[in-house]
Structure 1
């Protein structure tokens, strides 16, 4: 009788574990190099003069996520026309070594294999290669898309031609959302609303089965010092929203014990494996 009772308890304890294993998504993520930004003066990255006169090098990182048989690209980097070239505008000099599509080829993938392209926001260094993925479903916060299609009185926020495949098509493959968005419906990849940098700016939570939770910042932070001293860029659309988003993001990171990856900070590149290796 005792042996039967022990066996029954063991079976009861094992069933939830087996069920959990059965529903764990087959998930992995790659970091893609989508350009580099040389900054002669970081003055504009703080409205409180925290970085005046400081030169900086920023990386432009994109990410590929595989969820079972589905693929998602997060952020589309600098324009592909810059591959092998450079462009200087104000304090920025930007370059691109390889396109996203070229890097996908290393993994045996093409643009047609990408089911979703999500963008953290509408700035040019995050949407530059969107036109390479016209067959993919675009994921974008509704407030950012509204700003693109109906620009404010101050002028255009992005080149609308970049979004033409999703804004002019009769039946566009487009998903918008007001706040958070669960991409695959199982909680493994969740777009988190972190407005302030732009009206609909978003960050990304990826819950990898082995590495654990990873939080990609988008442009909530550009470099680690902004976490420490709350540097709010002069070009953000809302200061109060930015500070509230920073507080929310930091609370999530702490509660989940997540690996935080600042997408523009070269010091965070090695928080994920070097391409073509993936984090699982």
Structure 2
């Protein structure tokens, strides 16, 4: 611009003839803490020549395409997590325009959270799908939160020169300051019960992540930027701004298999038709 270890414990003593048998890990339970998912408005984009912008194989036609930015609030019992933080809220009431795209933001995350009675200081966790500026822009509004982000993306932003100064600035509180940061490698079970899992899907960036949310109504998969719009799924479209093409294609394959195996509702975070699969804010999916 998405660690599990199952330890088998073997008990033996002189008075016990047979060892204990390791039990399989329990399936994720929806009878635990309530789980809710809100979709939040995190920007609007007009991509002026989307064929050149989104395809490294000249797949798509010339001309403009409208896409959106979406972020997500997850409530796990009395704990709150944001997934991605969208464009900077400096764009509220303003428009950014260049030769490639036009960017707008109608409302800040803080204002949207206020509408559902959630204060910024209640956000315990921020999960970032990848380092691009349109996914990191409002993170600084939640300095008390622990940042969850792929290790290789973190190291990239800490490098000199930064690949994107806007993203580095947006995450400076965690990259070089006092903020709590957890650098994630591999899949990461966020709350420890299998219901919210960061899925490693590298390629678009070195440590890109998607997110699995196992709602009571059925699992939801949030793509990050593994896909940007519907046509990419069938076409296996890879944009020119991409870290590793082979890794991206392998991640698409993994993601699609997970979606089929779980019967998950896939939400392409930049696709207007996909975010409409979730209830309109301020309603939550459950």
Same-fold call, TM > 0.5?
yes
Corresponding pairs, count = 258
Q: Deviations over 1:140-192 (max 9, x none)?
A: 0001001000147xx5234322112112335x311111111110011110000
Q: Give the CA deviation at 1:91.
A: 1.6
CA distance in structure 2 between the partners assigned to 1:89 and 1:20 by the alignment:
46
CA distance in structure 2 between the partners assigned to 1:24 and 1:97 by the alignment:
36
CA distance in structure 1 between the partners assigned to 2:120 and 2:220 by the alignment:
25
Paired residue for 2:119, among 110, 113, 116?
Answer: 110
8 Å contact from structure 1 (residues 141, 178) kept in 2 = yes
Which residue does 1:89 correspond to in 2?
Answer: 98
Shift >4 Å, 4+ stretches: 19-23
CA distance in structure 2 between the partners assigned to 1:30 and 1:251 by the alignment:
25
Any gaps of 5 or more consecutive residues in structure 1?
Answer: 1-18
Paired residue for 2:257, among 232, 251, 261?
Answer: 251
Specify whether residues 193 and 20 from structure 1 end up closer, same or farther in structure 2 by C-alpha distance, changes over 3 A only: closer
Which residue does 2:76 correspond to in 1?
Answer: 67
8 Å contact from structure 1 (residues 80, 129) kept in 2 = yes
8 Å contact from structure 2 (residues 53, 240) kept in 1 = yes
Q: Tell me the secondary structure at the aligned position of residue 41 of structure 2.
A: strand
* Higher relative helix content: 1
Give yes or no for the alignment of 1:166 onto 2:174. yes
8 Å contact from structure 1 (residues 123, 158) kept in 2 = no
Paired residue for 2:278, among 272, 275, 279?
Answer: 272
Specify whether residues 20 and 40 from structure 1 end up closer, same or farther in structure 2 by C-alpha distance, changes over 3 A only: closer
Paired residue for 2:136, among 127, 135, 150?
Answer: 127
Which residue does 1:6 correspond to in 2?
Answer: none
Any gaps of 5 or more consecutive residues in structure 2?
Answer: 1-26
Which residue does 1:58 correspond to in 2?
Answer: 67
Q: Tell me the secondary structure at the aligned position of residue 171 of structure 2.
A: helix
CA distance in structure 2 between the partners assigned to 1:267 and 1:41 by the alignment:
20
CA distance in structure 1 between the partners assigned to 2:94 and 2:197 by the alignment:
34
Specify whether residues 20 and 197 from structure 1 end up closer, same or farther in structure 2 by C-alpha distance, changes over 3 A only: closer
Specify whether residues 87 and 254 from structure 1 end up closer, same or farther in structure 2 by C-alpha distance, changes over 3 A only: same
Q: Tell me the secondary structure at the aligned position of residue 251 of structure 1.
A: helix
Alignment of 1:94-243 (within 5 A): 94-151=103-160, 156-159=163-166, 160-170=168-178, 172-209=179-216, 211-243=217-249
Q: Give the CA deviation at 1:40.
A: 1.1
Q: Tell me the secondary structure at the aligned position of residue 228 of structure 2.
A: coil
Which residue does 1:12 correspond to in 2?
Answer: none
CA distance in structure 2 between the partners assigned to 1:244 and 1:89 by the alignment:
33
Which residue does 2:32 correspond to in 1?
Answer: 24
Instruction: Give the structure-1-normalised TM-score.
Output: 0.89
Specify whether residues 71 and 22 from structure 1 end up closer, same or farther in structure 2 by C-alpha distance, changes over 3 A only: closer
CA distance in structure 2 between the partners assigned to 1:44 and 1:268 by the alignment:
20
Which residue does 2:43 correspond to in 1?
Answer: 35
CA distance in structure 2 between the partners assigned to 1:22 and 1:188 by the alignment:
8
CA RMSD, 1 decimal: 1.6
8 Å contact from structure 1 (residues 58, 264) kept in 2 = yes
